[in-house]
Structure 1
Amino acid sequence: MTCVSQYVKNVRKHFALCPYIPGATITLNCTSDGKGSSPFKGPIKLRILSVVSTSGHSVILEAKPLGESCSNSTKFPSSVVVKLYDHRFSERLRSEEAITPPTRSSIREYLTYVSSGGARRFIKRLHHHDKMLRAGRDEITATATATAGGLSGGGDGMNSSPTYTGSYPEYIPTPLSRQSGGRNGRSSDGSPTSSSHLSSQHSEGIPEDWDDDVALSHWTPAQDETYLYHKASKRFQAEKNVYNRLRRLQGTAIPKILGMASVKIGFPKLSIFEKDEIENLEHYGAHKRLFDANGWLCMKGVDSHLLSVKALVMEKVEGFSMADMTAHAPRCLFTKLVDEAMEIIHVTGMAPCEILNENVSPNNFMISPLPEDRGYRVVMMNFSESQIRAAEETNERWYHRKWNQAEIALFGLEMETILKRIGYRYKMNSHDSRITYWAEYLF
């Protein structure tokens, strides 16, 4: 079923060329799955069958590979899921940063910013910013871990939560003041706010090469779009790394990845720029870098990657989400299915996987009926908010982060609430070794 949210409908009012509509075709430039067994290599055309979701950090499509794209088309499945990290239409990504939906105006500002080289320089500064934030988090985690170690002698186990009482390093600027209405100084409804600047607490000690347009939260629409592109690219890289780490679980506990891809953003120039703006671009020669001979957006040069979005191509998992389990699965299997999901969370957190997942919502699990009525397969779907344990991360710090995240306990409590609504008595065992595992190493 096609799920086109009100968000996308609003975008189309301002910017009619949203490419993700049923029946439209998109071209993926695919790389292999790493095993050499995937038919998804090189340029592949797909026809969009439905828009599954735009409400998360990505746009999720169901699509049908077109046979004429490749000589070995017989290997193609009948349909696949394409997860596009397109910052323009990712609802949650934009709402988290209080950045309004894209418009014709903001898109053409972004194109001009990319053409001028400003976007590339801006992203370089953002990478520097990320590096400083990681340094600050490492310092905080180390202090919190030391505090946790101090509790081991007289604490009361899981109820003793170590508290970091220090301060963030002064050189780290506030990345987003949510109280002041978002990175671009706008409230959630798009109206300006009175406070849109770097907090004075963190304004001192910023490196000399720090760019004011990054440190300050009052950005232009072009910088907003560049920042969101940067965030979406990081989400893709994180999820790609997790799927590679969990390769042995693909096709069973998690979806099978068929390929990595990129999709070029293409628009007729007359849909983006007004006539006088095109004449101005041509006057300065910029149109030669922006458009091909047919007048379609076709950025040439080193920054062309800023006009494409990353994508994961994966198997389509038939079934229903665990959040909807009560309407579709047999009542006698509720506890078993919940336990299988908890086991997947546990296995992905243990060596050699060592994944920390900040979003283990029941909506991120699919229950897929097996052939010949052989039961159900539980599949964990979303890893965009996951992290892989760093090679240099000590056992103490890793155990503390896993214990503090409490993935299995949070998932179990949420399932308790869902099942309670229909009168099904499910009580998570708080002494389950999978829940207490990380605490045992800390206390």
Structure 2
Amino acid sequence: MVLKVFDQRFATQLREDEKVQPYKMDIEFDYHRFVRDGGAEAFIDGLNTHDEMAEEDESWNTPQEEAYLHDCLLDLYKTGIQVYNTLKDLQGEEVPGLLAAVLVSGFDPDVLEPVTQGFPGILLQHIQGFLLTNLADYSPREIRQSICDDSVRILNLMDDRGILNKDVQTRSFIVSLDNAQRKHFKVIMIDFALCNSRADYEDDQEWSEFKAIQEEQEEAIGRVMQTRLEGSFVYRESCRYKKPASYYE
């Protein structure tokens, strides 16, 4: 099993992206007080109801930054759960099985008083294998075409279920030996926190156009792997969506 915890204290990339300083213990004490006194809840409520507050991020203090990061990760957690529920029929086959949603205690009770807020997490089936990124290092040349084709197939299965993954990369896939057929490789897609669903778009045209211009989709796998594998994989576009005329202007 794998436990993925959405804890802003250790979300290194998010902290860098949002230009928030690395976590230190004195930050936790200040943030704990902010949560306990109700300031964090009021701050997040304000962000959700007043768009202009998000533009004032340069004036936020450290506890406010921590509350913002925690709320961002909570959104990613909710998205991940929603996607796994949408892909129930693919769990254990094309995506890992979702075993449980959990809540991890947020603070050490020996150091800080308990608070109601913790960190959400998802307990997932562990997939033993290697990243698609490293396919050339771990697979014979003759099967690379089928493995990469299967990665694109899984991506399109998500599309069929109304899921748009905005962060598709070669590291989004694990290649492992199929337990049922030990000589055959199996592709599993992971990481669904940065997804949109069909319900997020006004109509079919908007949905199709947005998907068509997402380079993170098929091309992020097909063209990258074609270059990386130097002739042992040929990418063929599925052309499932037609780009709008404005895309070429």
Regarding TM over 0.5, the answer is yes
Gaps spanning 5+ residues in structure 2: where?
none
CA distance, structure 2, for counterparts of residue 342 and residue 239 of structure 1: 20
Count of aligned pairs: 243
Q: Could you list the per-position Cα deviations for residues 275-301 of structure 1 after superposition, in whole angstroms to 9, with x for gaps in the alignment?
A: xxxxxxxxxxxxxxxxxxxxx5312xx
Relative CO higher for 1 or 2, CA cutoff 8 Å, sep ≥ 6?
A: 2
Q: Please say if 1:343 is aligned against 2:144.
A: no
Distance 1:217 1:368 in 2: 45
TM-score by length of 2: 0.91
- TM-score computed with the length of structure 1 as normaliser: 0.52
Give 1:361's match in structure 2, choosing from 169, 185, 188: 169
User: Cα distance, 1:392 vs. partner?
Assistant: 6.2
Structure 1 residue 100, shift from structure 2 partner: 1.3
Q: Secondary structure at the match of 2:176?
A: strand
Shift of 1:217: 2.3
1:38-95 per-residue CA deviation (whole Å, 9 max, x = no partner) reads xxxxxxxxxxxxxxxxxxxxxxxxxxxxxxxxxxxxxxxxxx1111101100111111
Instruction: Determine if the alignment matches structure 1 residue 252 to structure 2 residue 93.
Output: yes
Partner residue of 1:416 out of 217, 222, 226: 226
| Aligned match for 1:428, one of 212, 215, 235 | 235
Task: Tell me what 1:237 maps to.
Answer: 78
Matched, 1:380 2:196: no
- The C-alpha deviation readout for 1:282-336, integer Å capped at 9, x for no partner, is xxxxxxxxxxxxxx5312xxxx12xx00000010011111011111112111111
Change over 3 Å in CA distance of 1:327–1:174 after alignment to 2:
farther
Q: CA deviation at 1:174?
A: 8.4
1:104 to partner: Cα distance: 1.5
Q: C-alpha distance in 1, partners of 2:57/2:19?
A: 15
Looking at structure 1, the residues matched to 210 and 52 of structure 2 have their Cα atoms a distance apart, in angstroms, of 24
**Which of the residues 267, 277, 289 maps onto 2:108?**
267
**SS of equivalent residue, structure 1 residue 437:** coil
Instruction: Give 3-state SS (helix, strand or coil) of 1:99's partner.
Output: coil
**Structure with the largest fraction of helix:** 2
Shift of 1:374: 3.7
Residues 249 and 124 (structure 1), Cα distance of their counterparts in 2 relative to 1, 3 Å cut: same
User: What's the CA shift string for 1:408-433, capped at 9, x where partnerless?
Assistant: 0222111123213xxx443322xx3x
Structure 1 residue 269: deviation in Å? 5.0
SS in 2 for 1:405: coil
Determine the C-alpha separation between the residues in 1 that align with 2:8 and 2:189. 24
SS at match of 1:378: strand
Match of 1:107 in 2: 28
Q: Specify the code of the residue in structure 1 equivalent to 2:194.
A: E
Tell me which amino acid in the other structure corresponds to 1:375.
Answer: H
Name the structure 2 match of 1:137: none
What is the aligned counterpart of 1:398 among 207, 221, 228?
A: 207
Judged with a 3 Å threshold, the aligned counterparts in structure 2 of structure 1 residues 391 and 110 are, in CA distance, closer, same or farther, namely closer
1:437 paired with 2:244, answer no
Which amino acid is 2:114 matched to? Answer: C
Query: Which amino acid in structure 2 is aligned with residue 363 of structure 1?
Result: R
**Alignment partner, residue 125 of structure 1:** 46
Deviates further, 387-396 or 242-251: 387-396
Task: Report the RMSD for the aligned CA atoms in angstroms.
Answer: 1.9
Q: Percent identity?
A: 24
Unaligned runs of 5+ in 1: 1-79, 130-171, 176-197, 199-214, 271-295
